[in-house]
Structures are given as C-alpha cells and as structure tokens.
Structure 1
Amino acid sequence: MKRVVMAVCATFTGIALQGAAAQTEEKPVPIAQAPYHRPVFTNQYLTMLDVYVPPGRNTGYHTHSQDSVSVNIVVGRQTNQNFGSATINPPGAGGERGRATFTNYVKEGNRTHKATNIGQTPFHNVSFLLTSPQPYKTTPSTRNAQGFTQVMDNERVRGWRVRLEPGQSTGQITQTAPGLRIVVESGEIAEVVPTVADRAMYLGTGQYFWQEPGTTRSIRNIGTTPVEFVEFELK
C-alpha cells in the first residue's frame, strides 16, 4: 500500500512539474532577454541586438515594446505565432537580405510572439531598440551625395544604403546626429576624413559600429569585392 501511495504521489508530482515547466516556457520575456537575441551594445540612445536563430530553433515568446529597426543579414524561413493564439502563420515574403525595417511599437502597441526557423539556413539580423519612447530631437544629415541611397525616413530614424564596387567612392558627407553602421556584405574600405590620414578597415558581414556625430567623411572601397552596409542617424 505504501508503494502505491508513493507511486501516486510521484505521478502527481511529475505532472505538476511538467505543468510548471510548460508555464515557464510559455511565459513571455522582453525581447532583449529572448533566446537567440544577444544584446551586444547599449548606450543612452539604444540597445543593439544580434539575432541569430539556427535552423530548427525558435525564439520563445517575447515582447516588442520599443520602437526598433532591424536589418536582415541572412534570411531564414520563419513561422510566427502570436502569444495566446493557436494559429501558426507561415513564412512571409519580402525578407530579402539587407532590407531595413522600422516598427513603431510605441504607437502601434506591444507585440508578443514566437518565431521558429523552419528553413535550412540560419536567420540572422541586427536590430536596435530605441531607449526613449519619444524622439531625441536631433537633426540628421540629408546625405545628398554620391553613393548614399536613402532607404528610411520617419519620426525616429533616417537611413541610407551604401554599396560600393572595388575602387568606387562615396561623396563627402557630414554626420550631424548620433548613428550607427550595420554591415550587409563584407569588404575593405577606407574612411577619408579631411586633414587626417585615410583609415582603412575590414567590415565583416553582420558587424555593427556606433558613430558619433560631427564627422565629415567619404568612403572608398579599397578591396577586391563589393561592400554593402546601411547607416542610420537618429532623430
């Protein structure tokens, strides 16, 4: 009889533990704490996340609440499931490499979901979350110069894509607001700043660089392959 009671207790204990584990797994977390979302840089303006989801893995339920920008580095096939819904949405279209997307969660409201990579390649993007829910009241540059193609302009961020073939250069610009660079396609560049020696550097795919305002520069591809990146200035 004692063994029967112990077995019954063990069974109920196991069920309770499984239920508790399931509740823990389903509890949403802020995006910066989500699986495969790695915070890599933070300052008074933003937090940067390196998001890398291997094939067959998922992000767990997480909540987006801050205005954010993401840049696709490697496009994976991901399903999405909103928290509290049994519907699993199939992979959407339009996730091309290098695409920059802004989402205004402050105005549109929070989103809690889980993404699962069902493809054969990793899903990789670099995102940044704006710390303040209100604009910073900075004034970004216009960058009306050769080589800069504007890809984003809204109440929070202005962004430009730069793609240079070997030997090509951009025109000269002056950055007037805090910002950053996210690399889509690796290569070697030189930053050309008046009155100082050219600064050569290697840009690796998926790398990211914070850029303070006030610098006047142009950029030249000094490598043997095309290089592509996206630069942003905050508003």
Structure 2
Amino acid sequence: MVIKKLYSVMLLSAVILSSFGCASAFPPKAPDGDPVVETKDEPLHHVIMETKDVRVMRVMLLPGVRTMWHEQHLDYVNTHISGSPVKVEYIGQPVKTAVMETGHIRFGPHQGKSEVDRITNTGTTLNHQVAFEIKQSGPQGFGTGDRSKVQGFTMALDKPTVYGWHVELKPGESTGSYTVKGPGVRVIFKGNRILSTQPNVMTQQITTQAGDAFLVDPGTYVITNGGSEDLVFNEYELK
C-alpha cells in the first residue's frame, strides 16, 4: 500500500512538472562527467537582451575553444556572423563535424523536446553567432508576415514559429513602408547607420556595426540606409 501511494505521488508530481513546461529535465552530468547547463547559463552564450517572447544571445568561440554541454528545449534561430568549421558532440550520438558558414541561418526546432550538445571551434578564426530562443510555445497568432513586395527584403526563413528575411540596401536606399505584426529581432551583417521611420514619430537614427542585434516591436516602418556603406541585415518576426 505504501509503495502504491508513493508511486501515485511520483506520477502526480511528474504530471504537474510537465504541465508547467519543466519536463525537459536534463541530466546534471554528461557521460564523461562534465556538467550540463541550460543554454542561457552556458558561459560563452552571453545573454544580451530578453523579453517575455525571446532571449537573445551572443556566442563567441575562439579557435580551439569549446562550449560546455548545454541543453536546448526551445525553438531557436542562430545567425552566423562569422563562421568556422566546428566539432559537434551530442550525448549518446556519434561526434559530427560541420561548417558554420558566415551568413547562414540555423533553425533549431526544440520546442517540446530536449537536446544536449557541445560545440568546439576547430577553425583558425573567431566563430561569432547571434542566436535567440523563442520562449513562447508554438505560434502565437500574430499574423502572416508578407514582405514580398517590400524593396530589399528576401525571404530567408519560414518555420512554424518564426519568419526571417535578408535585407540589402545601398547608401540612401529605403525599404518602403512595411508592417511588423509580431515581436522580432534584427541582426546586422554590415552597415554603419540605420534611419528607422514610423508614422507620426521622429525618425530614429541607429548607429550599427557587424554583429549588432536589436529588438523590433510590432508597428509600421520604413528603413533607410543612412550610412556610407551597404547595409545588410536579417530581420526575424515571431508568428
């Protein structure tokens, strides 16, 4: 009888934890004895911005440097500012080698499941990434993002929880008006000044450099390259 009661308590606890999104309990240590941490707590994943919707991180791996084992359980978007060859280790799987290509986008569909990995920069240059986790579960119904007729925008990502566009503007060029329906993130590849205009609001001048990241609120915008060099960035919007 005691055993049955104890089992019932354990089962109820598991159900409660699952209902609060805590079911991604990862092992405290990997098979090699090293600790496992959440991605946001991994020392090379620097959290630079966070809202109720997204957590934005800057990841910088020097040649030969590797991350700790870190657990991912949220959808995430990883933009490679400057890439490198890498070694990718997963718990219980063979070691893989890959190349993080500069300018590439990697989407990790981790909502509802957990994955633990460890990354080593096996190249000779800095590996620099801007990544963000999508903290809300599933699409939130912000609306359909269509920028097919907006100058400079090219669709680069279309996943269940997020859109992404690649944007290129010459000095002085503008996008024309477009509407952001869900909260988003803008990641800069190149450029030194953005002019961001919204209806009935004074134009905002934003100084930029490669690797900068900005939160983008819902609203209507015109983006102008107000700098002296080409402006290149990715802009993401939650669904």
TM-score with structure 1 length normalisation? 0.81
What is the Cα deviation at residue 231 of structure 1? Answer: 0.9
Paired residue for 1:220, among 220, 224, 229? 224
Unaligned residue ranges in structure 2 (runs of 5+): 1-28
Residue 195 of structure 1 aligns with which residue? 200
- Structure 2: distance between partners of 1:178 and 1:168: 24
Paired residue for 2:87, among 79, 88, 91? 79
Q: From the superposition, tell whether residues 141 and 60 of structure 1 become closer, same or farther in structure 2 (CA, over 3 Å).
A: same
What is the Cα deviation at residue 195 of structure 1? Answer: 3.4
Residue 232 of structure 1 aligns with which residue? 236
Unaligned residue ranges in structure 1 (runs of 5+): 1-20
Paired residue for 1:41, among 43, 49, 65? 49
Residue 17 of structure 2 aligns with which residue? none
What do residues 195-219 of structure 1 show as CA deviations (whole Å, max 9, x unaligned)?
A: 34332221121111112112x2211
Matched, 1:113 2:104: no
Paired residue for 2:96, among 89, 93, 97? 89
Paired residue for 1:181, among 186, 193, 216? 186
Q: From the superposition, tell whether residues 132 and 201 of structure 1 become closer, same or farther in structure 2 (CA, over 3 Å).
A: closer
Q: From the superposition, tell whether residues 133 and 197 of structure 1 become closer, same or farther in structure 2 (CA, over 3 Å).
A: closer
Aligned residues: 210
Larger Rg: 1
Percent sequence identity over aligned pairs: 29
Matched, 1:208 2:213: yes
What is the Cα deviation at residue 226 of structure 1? Answer: 1.0
- Structure 2: distance between partners of 1:123 and 1:171: 34
Matched, 1:51 2:55: no
More helix by share: 1
What is the Cα deviation at residue 59 of structure 1? Answer: 0.3
- Partners of 2:31 and 2:91 within 8 A in 1: no
- Structure 2: distance between partners of 1:37 and 1:30: 10
Aligned CA RMSD, in angstroms, stands at: 2.1
Matched, 1:137 2:141: yes
- Partners of 1:35 and 1:58 within 8 A in 2: no
More strand by share: 2
What do residues 19-60 of structure 1 show as CA deviations (whole Å, max 9, x unaligned)?
A: xx9989612111111131111121111211111111111002
TM-score with structure 2 length normalisation? 0.80
Secondary structure in 2 matching 1:32: helix
- Partners of 2:60 and 2:126 within 8 A in 1: yes
Secondary structure in 1 matching 2:202: coil
- Structure 2: distance between partners of 1:182 and 1:170: 16
- Structure 1: distance between partners of 2:158 and 2:57: 21
